[in-house]
Structure 1
Amino acid sequence: MKRIFLILMMALSFVAMAFSNESREISGTITDESGAVLPGVTVVVENTSRGTVSDPNGFYKITVNPGDKRLVFSFVGMDTQKIKIPLDNTLNVVLQSSELGLEEVVVVGYGVQKKANLCSAVSRVRGTNHIWAVADCNTENYSTIRENGFKDVKANPLSTFSIDVDRAAYSNVRRYINQGNLPPVDAVKVEEMINYFDYDYPAPGGEHPFSVSTEVSTCPWNPKHYLMHIGLQGKHIDKTNLPASNLVFLLDVSGSMESPDKLPLVKRAFSMLVNELRPEDRVAIVVYAGAAGKVLDSTPGNKKKTILDALERLNAGGSTAGGEGLKLAYKIAGENFIKGGNNRIILATDGDFNVGVSSTSEMERLVEKERENGVFMTVLGFGSGNIKDDKMETIADKGNGNYAYIDNIQEARKVFITEFGGTLFTIAKDVKFQLEFNPKQVRSYRLVGYENRLLNDEDFNDDKKDAGEMGAGHTVTALYEIVPATSADNDRKPLVDPLKYQTSKTVSGQVGEELLTVKLRYKAPEGGKSKLLEIPVATNLQENTSDNFRFSAAVAEFGMLLRRSEFAGNASTESVLKLARDAKGEDEEGYRSEFIQLVKMVDDLQLLAEEKE
């Protein structure tokens, strides 16, 4: 009997050893002291950049390796906990409120924030322990967006706009919803929400660095209308074949960056990027607070410890000399310029510029001047309560770059690892669309989103006119809602009188059957003369639409609901959910599944609001 027992013990030891040498998944639910679930909690394996965030139900799942010791759980307004990785695969965690005085903290949705970020009275939702704050009661600032209306084709046959690869609006909207609030209307930029997601477009071939796809079908929120989907797919470049990078990290370390979702998250996010660098890449670090200063000379990418140590030493404090920081960053980028390489400043801030060169117009002139020297700009927003979205987007756009908002470590991974090429490497600049609609087929049209990207028609052929940049592997998607020429007279009847001095002949033959023509201009990253593509689109409604079409339509419809758009028609959360579920596809990274959960949360928030009324 003793021998059998020994054999069993040895067998169990072998099994334990086998499991100890394999990666495994730890999962559980995160709650606060009252038992309320906490979505958006950052979970990281200690001393690594491997992490995740809890979902809307407070559930998380993370892979750990044999040598990992502890998991770190952090959330705004809660004490960070470091917990030893258990022997089994379940770890439920209760986070405690940080020891700030009660007068300094209010509960917002599912978490807490410092009271300094809020300024209005709060009210309790019946039947819950949560207090809900008015979402727009802080110092965050967004440019006013006036939605595009329908244009009469006979008076306005051309529609011209710049592409937009910025994706900040979606992650910012997600942050509001995860905190239990509906976002401010002007924080909802429909085209940025659509373009947050990648789509399965064909890879480009031939001389152009991207492919162009079109699809036309019935509009989901207005069956009397058409919806046209246009997609660009940028060419993918293997990381090993990317040109060498000359990067300058320009990091805001002012007092407003002190909270856990700002400078501490900046450090972890940029550590991810550092781990992706190659020996031929170089990094310098500039910080700004009351004054700007260089904390790291341009350093080869294989000296990772030197770069990471410089990042780790940073602390927040002081006012914000953002303009002086920009000047110094451009100076260092110029001194280390790599001809034919990727020369770029990566600015991380909550947007609170208030000392030195601080006006938006002054910064525009500065980055416009420097972009001509071949140094591009990426802007990353962090934190809440202080975001200056309008200023940050302007700096990125005028600096031939892109703008993203990082609300958690998972978004940092998306920006710096999953979309590494698109974030940092430009394959085409000054990319402009111009669509010409056929009045024989189209009565009127409306571009969905892109309100702050509209161009004059004559700007399309003007190579001096700045437009959007496209990164390696990026996709760009645009939607048009179209009123067909056969619609009833009272359906979206244009309010434009017939022209007195101009008449147009109705086209006939094969051209007359076309719905419209898509034209596109772009320049090479270092080029000065644009190239032209021209693609006719047939009047051919597709009954079985692609996942690309349906999912982009779902996101657009959701954005219109959040904006309370006058053009939302029959839009509803039920319609959005049906479209999104049917078009979710493989969803390897889980972003589309997360979108579906956000729509459900908004539906719940709206029900709560109705109950309060």
Structure 2
Amino acid sequence: MAEKLIAMRKYLALLLLTCLMVINASARQERTITGTVKDSADGYPIANAVVRVKGTDYLTATNAKGTFSLKVPVGALIIEINATSYKLREVNLGAQQTTLHVKLSMLQQLIKAAEKNRYIMTGKADEIATSPVVEYVAPLPRQQMHQKALAGRVAGVTANGYYPGPGANTEDYSPINENIFHTATDQPLSTFSIDVDRASYSNMRRFLNNGEMPPPDAVRVEEMVNYFDYRYKAPTGKDPVAIYADMAVCPWNTAHQLVRVALKSKQVDTKDLPAANLVFLLDVSGSMEDENKLPLVKRAFSVLTEQLRPQDKVAIVVYAGAAGVVLPATSGSDKKKILAALDELQAGGSTAGGEGIKLAYHIAEELRSQNSNTRVILATDGDFNVGVSSDGELTRMIEKERQKGISLSVLGFGMGNYKDNKLELLADKGNGNYAYIDNFEEARRTFVTEFGGTLFTVAKDVKLQVEFNPQFVQAYRLVGYENRMLQNEDFNNDKKDAGDMGVGHTVTALYEIIPSGKKGETVNWVDPLKYQQGKVLGNQSEVLTVKLRYKQPNADASQLMQKVLPYNNQQITSAPEDFRMATAVAAFGQLLRHSAFKGTATYDQVLSWAGNARGEDAEGYRAEFIQLVKKAKLLDKE
């Protein structure tokens, strides 16, 4: 018996030793590396740079200080570092190396744009307004150019004393920090406001048709995706919106999957739409004299005038150095009078945009009546330089008027001094649409083909919240919608403003998914949580649940809708045509942005995906898209 006991003890000791060896070996399968990612020109930290073990899902992102921490496999590795607006860099990581400090170089096209358009101002800022002559000298040092271009801005006089040179491009775009991956266990909810705007697409088209690549911050991927008509079925029940969801293998990273969330608002016959009280607010300042500005504005609003009904009313307000009324409220049946007023407009003077908005809202409030659609439609290049002009002042004014039931839609025109960042903000705060009119065809589409969707709201404050099931989803990222993100608490807060859907509108959102169960490959955004139950309620085959809140146009309380997506591992080639088209457009947007998440996508692949998803294409927009991809392929030399 004693011998058996001794043998048993030896066996248990050997077993314990073996287990410890296995545990130690497992622990040695990974190591943690830390480091920084900075700008090669000025040493500034780069936030949201993606640090990845090449060919795997071992990845993380830098924080605001440009630092990162990442668990990686043992042995020598190749590390990819990719940040929007920078060149991709690959670095060899030694088998024993635990720190990595990397510097990235900015895309050459941004450096050239900054060096071309930035000059040092020799005079004082307050002398510029009184002196017609400004002396320009050599471009700024490269690192200062770099910083300005990286901010997404090529603006006019600044606090630092910079002024654009003769013929300089002073277009202004807000910087976009791309959405990154979030783990489903730590952040299972994704909440955002819908976006039906499409200004970014037509603006991008303008650049490519002029033989230039668009600035990365001019490319908002969700607006490109939502530019196209998708044949989603309209709702048939009491809700004015229908929800659809499906998934397929992600074509730019086949180890991942792509989820599509789609919305379609109800169709309403034009004759059944409520009366419209419209105030045309038109910029007639000197900056609007170019052929693609005020002359195109006049043609666009003439097209809109032809769509008006007798019950509709229109007033026209213009602004330059001051604001004034050129046409009092006029019935839509008196088209000759409206068209004559438009025809007489001429450009000249400074730009008192804030005063124009004030006057337009005042007239709109006088026109407003119960059960009518009251809207101000602003047409401008966004270059406000007299009176109320700061973003804060303008948005506070617009938010106040929004509470009265008056919407603000914005149409952008022109190039060279276009202020996209200001116009997008105004439309967002004004609960209206934002479109960029680069040609007469775009005006026709906005005011003829989509007359109801442009002017008449069927669901307001539309919010989406997606909950991911960690059983199927290790991590996710929302493609685009960076400036539409909401706090999770905002979803049930009816006081929180969100986007509106007009008659017949479609909205498409894409999520890139890293599936669960990929052994050893983890997304290292935050440390694991200690106190989560990991309990999944509901059907175990559910990948995610989409929740939507909306308000009826005249209501203050929201309604809740839900849609569940079951697991489906189909190839993208087997997905519906509209899904494939949206995927191609999203990939194109990421290529234009030189996105850190573009994966293996190429222009040739986008051409193939889009070519196989053209369908009927009655208006020819998908065929035009293919031509734009071909132009970008020739122009993009980075």
Tell me, yes or no, whether TM beats 0.5: yes
Deviation at 1:535, TM superposition (A): 1.1
Q: Percent identity?
A: 59
In the alignment, what sits opposite 1:556?
586
The 5 A counterparts of 1:351-362 are: 351-362=382-393
1:270-313: CA deviation from partner (whole Å, max 9, x where unpaired): 00000000111000000000000000000000100100000000
In the alignment, what sits opposite 1:506?
535
In the alignment, what sits opposite 1:17?
none
- Choose the corresponding residue for 1:568, options 598, 601, 604: 598
Q: Tell me if structure 1 keeps the 8 A contact 2:474–2:516.
A: yes
Alignment-mate amino acid for residue 191 of structure 1: E
Could you say what secondary structure the match of 2:616 adopts?
coil
Change (3 A) 1:119 1:212: farther
Q: Tell me if structure 2 keeps the 8 A contact 1:215–1:542.
A: no
Q: Radius of gyration: which is bigger?
A: 2
- Choose the corresponding residue for 2:613, options 583, 599, 604: 583
Q: Does 1:522 align with 2:554?
A: no
Which aligned runs of 4 or more in structure 1 are off by greater than 3 angstroms?
A: 118-121, 134-137
1:523-571: CA deviation from partner (whole Å, max 9, x where unpaired): 0111100000011111112341001110000000000000001111110
**Distance in 2, Cα, partners of 1:506 & 1:145:** 36
Q: Tell me if structure 2 keeps the 8 A contact 1:170–1:188.
A: yes
Q: Tell me if structure 2 keeps the 8 A contact 1:523–1:531.
A: yes
**Distance in 2, Cα, partners of 1:459 & 1:119:** 50
In the alignment, what sits opposite 2:365?
334
In the alignment, what sits opposite 2:63?
none
Could you say what secondary structure the match of 1:223 adopts?
coil
Q: Tell me if structure 1 keeps the 8 A contact 2:153–2:171.
A: no
Q: Tell me if structure 2 keeps the 8 A contact 1:322–1:354.
A: yes
Could you say what secondary structure the match of 2:255 adopts?
strand
* Number of equivalenced pairs: 478
**Distance in 2, Cα, partners of 1:233 & 1:542:** 23
Could you say what secondary structure the match of 2:256 adopts?
strand
Deviation at 1:425, TM superposition (A): 0.5
Deviation at 1:446, TM superposition (A): 0.3
In the alignment, what sits opposite 2:247?
216
The 5 A counterparts of 1:392-541 are: 392-490=423-521, 493-500=523-530, 502-507=531-536, 511-541=539-569
- Choose the corresponding residue for 1:373, options 404, 407, 415: 404
**Distance in 2, Cα, partners of 1:271 & 1:532:** 40
**Distance in 2, Cα, partners of 1:541 & 1:216:** 7
**Distance in 2, Cα, partners of 1:292 & 1:215:** 50
**Distance in 1, Cα, partners of 2:153 & 2:425:** 24
Alignment-mate amino acid for residue 334 of structure 1: E
Deviation at 1:489, TM superposition (A): 2.4
Could you say what secondary structure the match of 1:212 adopts?
strand
Q: Tell me if structure 2 keeps the 8 A contact 1:250–1:285.
A: yes
**Distance in 2, Cα, partners of 1:265 & 1:120:** 36
Q: Tell me if structure 1 keeps the 8 A contact 2:293–2:414.
A: yes
1:193-214: CA deviation from partner (whole Å, max 9, x where unpaired): 0001110101111111011111
The 5 A counterparts of 1:151-300 are: 151-300=182-331
Could you say what secondary structure the match of 1:432 adopts?
strand
Change (3 A) 1:520 1:597: same
**Distance in 1, Cα, partners of 2:153 & 2:299:** 27
In the alignment, what sits opposite 2:627?
597
Q: Tell me if structure 1 keeps the 8 A contact 2:153–2:173.
A: no
- Choose the corresponding residue for 1:315, options 316, 325, 346: 346
1:167-199: CA deviation from partner (whole Å, max 9, x where unpaired): 000000000000000000000000000001110
Could you say what secondary structure the match of 1:331 adopts?
helix
CA RMSD of aligned residues (A): 1.9
**Distance in 2, Cα, partners of 1:212 & 1:479:** 14
**Distance in 2, Cα, partners of 1:292 & 1:144:** 31
Could you say what secondary structure the match of 2:202 adopts?
helix
Change (3 A) 1:290 1:564: same
Deviation at 1:507, TM superposition (A): 2.3
Deviation at 1:504, TM superposition (A): 1.8
Q: Tell me if structure 1 keeps the 8 A contact 2:153–2:174.
A: no
Could you say what secondary structure the match of 1:248 adopts?
strand
Q: Tell me if structure 2 keeps the 8 A contact 1:320–1:353.
A: yes
Could you say what secondary structure the match of 2:625 adopts?
helix
TM-score, normalised via structure 2 length: 0.73
**Distance in 1, Cα, partners of 2:366 & 2:525:** 57
Alignment-mate amino acid for residue 495 of structure 1: W
In the alignment, what sits opposite 1:87?
none
Could you say what secondary structure the match of 2:324 adopts?
strand
Q: Tell me if structure 2 keeps the 8 A contact 1:135–1:182.
A: no
